[in-house]
A and B are shown apart, each in its own frame.
Chain A
Amino acid sequence: MSYEELPHTADVKIRACAPTLDALFGEACRALMQVMYGGDRSGGTTRSIDLDAPDQESLFCDFLSEVLYVSEVDGLVFRQADVRLEGMHIHAVLDGEPFDPVRHNKGTEVKGISYSGLSIQKDAKGYMLDILFDV
């Protein structure tokens, strides 16, 4: 499992890889939190997310948009997400901690999750996701 930032002039483009789709969603969530708050994130406070979407790409965008929303409104910074997919339904438990202005000031605000350039591919090794965050 891994993710990396790909070159993109205006925004942040992320490539995440994972052996399963469940783990791929979790990686994308970790990447989002890394971009927004930096790497120093611990756990202890949980939130769960349940969503349905008409297709897989929408489910990705909706899930990450929901993480963005919960993080901002509840003032939480998540370390990881435990994701379970059943068809086009996602159940995720996010583990994080309250936002700390000193420890969590290493990132940049993400304004939205874009459909542009979004792709999910599968090969023998697992899944690969490309996704663009508007910053």
Chain B
Amino acid sequence: MLDGVIRAGTNEWEIPVGYVPGMRVPGRFFLSDALAALLEPGAVQQLANVATLPGIVRCSLGMPDIHWGYGFPIGGVAAFSLDEGVISPGGVGFDINCGVRLFTTPLAQADIKKPREFIESLFHAVPTGVGAKSSLKISPAALTAVMEKGARWAVEAGYGVERDLARCEEGGCMKQADIRAVSAKARARGIPQGGTLGSGNHFLEIQVVSEIYDEIAAKAFGLLKGQICCMIHCGSRGLGHQVCTDHLKTLETATKKYHITLPDRQLACAPIQSPEGKAYFGAMAAAANYAWANRQLIMHAARLQFERMFSIGYESMPLVYDVTHNVAKIEEHTVDGHRVTLCVHRKGATRSFGPGTRDLPGDLATIGQPVIIPGSMGTSSFVLKGTATAMERTFGSTCHGSGRVMSRSQAKKRMTGKEVADHLLAQGIIVRAPNEAAIADEAPEVYKPSSEVVQVVHDAGLSALVARLSPLGVIKG
């Protein structure tokens, strides 16, 4: 482990106050000894930097997929007091409400007789990659409704069913959205991109449920061994990126106005209750709503392809859940025995609400929230459930993925996209992307093993394993 970091338990580490000047609370992260070897000093520095922000409560937290980002580390969680605390776009990221959703089908693997043809049809149904435009024309008035209503806008427009909404974190809509705080530039970027996947690590994947760890929870989530599922990973597209860019600039000025000293400009922030802080929060919520509508539109397009290819009913493909992993939310938590309302930032971290918490659909109230953890291309994804331990220890948060260990330039030097695709095909996994470089960038070897990451959160009790999903076909953005 790095100098100055103290072991605080099995798979748990503390960054003491003083590791960087100005820390108000310690840093704490969860990591196995095997994963500790991959930890970057930059990520620890960023976790410590977050601990210097005003109003931070208890500690600056890192999940086991922690890695070097900008502002907050990726895998970072921090909660702030509403009275003295700040809100920071650096704690959310450019891709506001980047998230994951999973829906099931009544199909088994043997039902997919022509997998290549099916993947190809999905690739053409979902606009993918740099510069891809939506066939859907969202009018300026509709865009306003998207930003105010989120997934509900899509369902009301015919792109889904009412039940889908109950299976989204926050019902697929943050009510605090303030469209006045969304610039004309952000809107201009949002109009042509509804229902597009984007690029980078975004994907749409056909998977099979390969293992069940918790029969009761799996049944409640609607997961059966051998069943075909579809996972969608994407965010708020150019609209969200522009909201972050615009407000970062405003908050840079606000940081000086409110005399906040920062170790990194990307942590630009303002008091949550200040006009600048409120404007960012309102715009961020509007972008988060765009992302929920976007995933709803993509799910609809995928469901139509399943319907067409396999003659199955739309309603036989229920949404398991939709989680966000780049967001700031106002939530109630217990701190030192008192119920308090906090602003929880999750940047590359997933909400993991335990049984009995607010915002769970009635039939999941005793189980806990479904937590969806995507694997890297070609490796398993996992479904877990939220826990009481996460509520006590991490403001109801867990990991979000596997975390990169290799840069894109290194990845390209190691293997070409074609070599990666051939290697995956030998394992029965079909990959389709707009270009080969996109495949090389996201080869399985460039990520930490997803199974190790989820084992750490399972062992630490931050979420509990329910099912493993193995990839069959991937569309890369």
Q: Which residues of A contact B (CB under 8 A)?
A: 5, 7-12, 36-38, 57-58, 62, 65, 68-69, 72-73, 75, 99, 101, 104-109, 111-118, 132, 134-135
Contact = CB atoms under 8 A, between A and B. Distances in A.
Contact of B437 (A5, A72, A106): A106
Interface string B445-477: 000000000000000000000000000000001
B422 interface: no
B130 A107 contact: yes
Given A105-B130, A106-B435, A10 B265 contact: no
B196 to A, nearest CB: 10
A74 B95 CA distance: 21
A101 B129 CA distance: 9
B94 A69 contact: no
Contacts of A72: 131, 189, 238
A100 to B, nearest CB: 9
26 contacts: A8-B68, A9-B405, A9-B406, A12-B408, A37-B131, A57-B265, A58-B252, A69-B185, A69-B242, A101-B131, A104-B131, A105-B434, A106-B435, A107-B130, A108-B408, A109-B199, A113-B245, A114-B70, A114-B266, A115-B70, A115-B265, A116-B70, A116-B265, A118-B265, A132-B70, A135-B200
A20 B249 CA distance: 26
A45 B242 CA distance: 24
Contacts of A11: 69-70
Interface in B56-85: 67-71, 74
B131 A69 contact: no
Contacts of B94: 111-112, 134
B43 to A, nearest CB: 9
Nearest to A112: B94
Contacts of A10: 67-69, 74, 404
B189 A9 contact: no
Please name the 9 residue pairs, one residue from A and one from B, whose CB atoms are nearest each other, closest first. Answer: A116-B70, A112-B94, A115-B265, A111-B94, A114-B70, A116-B266, A109-B199, A115-B266, A7-B407
B50 interface: no
Interface string B111-132: 0000000000000000001111
B265 A9 contact: no
A109 B245 contact: no
B98 to A, nearest CB: 9
A72 B190 CA distance: 11
B70 A117 contact: yes
A101 B435 CA distance: 10
Interface in B343-386: none
A75 B131 contact: yes
Interface string B182-194: 0001001100000
Contact of B264 (A109, A113, A116, A135): A116
Nearest to B242: A69
Of residues A10, A12, A68, A117, which shows the largest number of chain B Cβ atoms within 10 Å of its Cβ? A10
Contacts of A112: 94, 241, 244-245
A9 B198 CA distance: 20
Contacts of A113: 245
A73 B241 CA distance: 13
Contact of A73 (B90, B188, B264): B188
A9 B131 contact: no
Interface in B246-264: 248-249, 252, 264
Nearest to B202: A109
Of residues A73, A99, A108, which shows the largest number of chain B Cβ atoms within 10 Å of its Cβ? A108
A107 B189 contact: no
B189 A69 contact: yes
Contacts of A38: 437
